[in-house]
Structures are given as C-alpha cells and as structure tokens.
C-alpha cells in the first residue's frame, strides 16, 4: 500500500495540480522552511467564505510540493471554517505514508501557509509539535 501512496506523491510532484498564480486572489501568503529550503505561496479566491479557486507556487522537495498539490485539491469548495479545522493528522492521512520529523515539517508547510493566510497570522497552536 505504501508503494501506491509513494507513486501518488511522485505524480503530484511531477504534475502538480492547481499550480500557478491567481492575480486577484482574496488571500495570498508565502512562507518557507529555512532548514531545507522549501517555499510555498498560496492564492485563494473566495466566493463568500467558500474557496472558489486555489493555486500555489513554490519550490522544494517532493514531499512539500506533493503535499501542496494534494492540499489544493482538498480546498476547492471548502469554507474558511472547514480549512481552520484541518490539522496535522489530515495531512498525514492524505499523504498516506509514515514520515520522520524532518519530512513532517516539509509535509505540513503547505497547511501552515494556508492557515496563516486564512487566519492572517504566522503560527497556530501545536504547529511546532514533533512526533
């Protein structure tokens, strides 16, 4: 089963979904992981408080970029309140493979960026927890 998830991650890395920019985005935010060099910028277009369109740009390892691509798929049609409820476990379940502490930070960067944009803050509770 891990092989299937690894193939999915590699596919999202090589052919990312929702990659690009939204010039008139309602929410745009960027952050990076200075330890490994991953960088993600998200763009969210809202209709009311529902995500109508979303895109991302960035560079980094396969885990961070695939996590961003997969997360963008999940955000379409979600309310801002739904996004605020997404957590570390949501991302780990979405990726479907075990990750070490260093790779967890890579996987969580896209969610960190999305939440910071949605909340308008730079950190949120439990962000720095390690397993």
Which domains occur in the chain, in start order? 2-119 (3.90.1010.10)
Per-residue pLDDT of the chain (131 residues; tens, 9 = 90+): 567 768 888 899 999 999 999 999 999 999 998 888 999 999 999 999 999 999 999 999 999 999 999 999 999 999 999 999 999 999 999 998 888 888 899 999 999 999 999 998 654 444 444 43
- Whole-angstrom CA distances from 125 to 23, 52, 54, 99, 112 are 30, 27, 24, 21, 11
pLDDT at 2: 67
Q: Which token pair is 30?
A: 């960027």
Q: Which token pair is 20?
A: 């690009």
Return phi, psi of residue 7, to 5°: -65, -40
Distance separating alpha carbons of residues 26 and 35, to the nearest angstrom? 29
Distance separating alpha carbons of residues 42 and 66, to the nearest angstrom? 14
Q: Which token pair is 115?
A: 């939440």
Scored b (16 or more CB within 10 A) or e, 44-72 reads: bbbeeeebebbbbebebbebbbbbbbbbb
Tokens 């439990």 sit on residue: 126
Tokens 């997969």 sit on residue: 70
Contacts of 56 (CB under 8 A, 6+ apart): 16, 18, 19, 40, 41, 42, 43, 68, 69, 72, 110
């Amino acid at each position: 089963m891990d092989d299937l998830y690894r193939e999915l991650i590699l596919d999202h890395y090589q052919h990312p979904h929702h990659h690009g920019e939204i010039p008139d985005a309602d929410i745009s935010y960027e952050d990076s992981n200075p330890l490994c060099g991953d960088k993600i910028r998200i763009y969210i277009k809202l209709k009311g408080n529902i995500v109508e369109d979303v895109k991302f740009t960035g560079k980094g390892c396969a885990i961070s970029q695939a996590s961003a691509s997969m997360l963008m798929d999940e955000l379409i049609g979600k309310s801002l309140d739904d996004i605020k409820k997404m957590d570390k476990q949501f991302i780990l379940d979405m990726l479907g493979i075990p990750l070490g502490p260093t790779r967890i930070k890579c996987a969580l960067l896209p969610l960190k960026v999305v939440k910071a944009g949605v909340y308008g803050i730079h950190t949120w509770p439990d962000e720095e927890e390690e397993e």
